[in-house]
Amino acid sequence: MPEVIFNGPEGRIEGRYYHIRTPAAPIALVLHPHPQFGGTMNHKIVYLLYQCFVRRGFSTLRFNFRGVGRSEGSFDRGEGELSDAASALDWLQTYNPNAPFCWVSGFSFGAWIAMQLLMRRPEIESFIAVAPPANLYDFTFLAPCPSSGLIIHGTEDHLVPVESVQSLVTKLSHQRDIKIDFRRIPKADHFFADELEAVAAQVDAYIGAHLHPAAPRAASHARSR
């Protein structure tokens, strides 16, 4: 998991990147929770998503939004963070010009940014959103939603009630050719305390079921870059 530094809209952005040496490996971008509430690229859910993609053969990048860690700039209420994510995807594509497809994922605030990036970048094939804050942020921009994906939520999430996420899932699922796989984690709160293994199992199963046949299936051929 080597550290990388790349240019963003407000200066340098700090990230961690794992490169799959298999030719034409897919790519994945992982986005962290709210910067003003302790969110960083090292959050346990972000790291879990990162590792799931790496194990499934994706060259994977996670990074700190502006103003977090060694990333320059300051919090910009989501607008700047979306620009950071776009710059991160640009960097990831530059290092993987032959990647056959791209996935994006995020936790909480990061899921909201990931879904916005999905709307702006047609090369993103699928998404994984963990605890999307459907009651706190506006998701009406997903009209229409361009890709199918996985949404995971805890049944005991008192910050983002599961009913608000169910409403979002229902709206997206009614769109043509869009399938949303909604997985509820029993007893889990917003941060999935004591339920990380359940989240990892659901993420890994979804990625495995939706990989292209030609995509690499394991990280055994991977080496750090």
Contact 215, 53 (CB under 8 A): no
Q: What span, in angstroms and rounded, lies between the C-alpha atoms of 114 and 128?
A: 9
Q: Which residues contact 99 (CB under 8 A, 6 or more apart)?
A: 24, 25, 26, 27, 59, 93
pLDDT tens-digit readout, 3-53: 999 999 999 999 999 999 988 999 999 999 999 999 999 999 999 999 999
pLDDT classification of 222: cutoffs 50, 70, 90: very low
pLDDT tens-digit readout, 167-190: 999 999 999 999 999 999 999 999
pLDDT tens-digit readout, 71-119: 999 999 999 999 999 999 999 999 999 999 999 999 999 999 999 999 9
> Looking at residue 23, what is its pLDDT?
85
Phi and psi at 48, nearest 5°, equal: -60, -50
> Looking at residue 219, what is its pLDDT?
42
Q: What span, in angstroms and rounded, lies between the C-alpha atoms of 1 and 15?
A: 9
Sequence ranges of the domains in the chain: 3-214
- Pair of tokens at residue 90: 């640009």
Residue recorded with tokens 């305390």: 193
Q: Which residues contact 15 (CB under 8 A, 6 or more apart)?
A: 3, 4, 5, 6, 41, 61, 62, 63, 64, 88, 91
> Looking at residue 45, what is its pLDDT?
98
Over residues 141-161, mean pLDDT? 97
> Looking at residue 213, what is its pLDDT?
62
Q: Which DSSP state fits 64?
A: P
pLDDT at 217 over 70: no
Question: Within 29-161, where are the H helices?
Answer: 44-55, 79-95, 109-120
> Looking at residue 1, what is its pLDDT?
59
Over residues 146-157, mean pLDDT? 98
> Looking at residue 216, what is its pLDDT?
54
Domain 3-214: top CATH class: alpha beta
Q: Which residues contact 177 (CB under 8 A, 6 or more apart)?
A: 148
Residue 96: CA atoms inside 13 Å, Cβ hemisphere, count? Answer: 28
**Is the peptide bond between 144 and the residue preceding it cis, with omega within 30 degrees of 0?**
yes
Average pLDDT, the chain: 94
pLDDT classification of 221: cutoffs 50, 70, 90: very low
2: left (phi over 0), alpha (psi -120 to 50) or beta: beta
pLDDT tens-digit readout, 52-64: 999 999 999 999 9
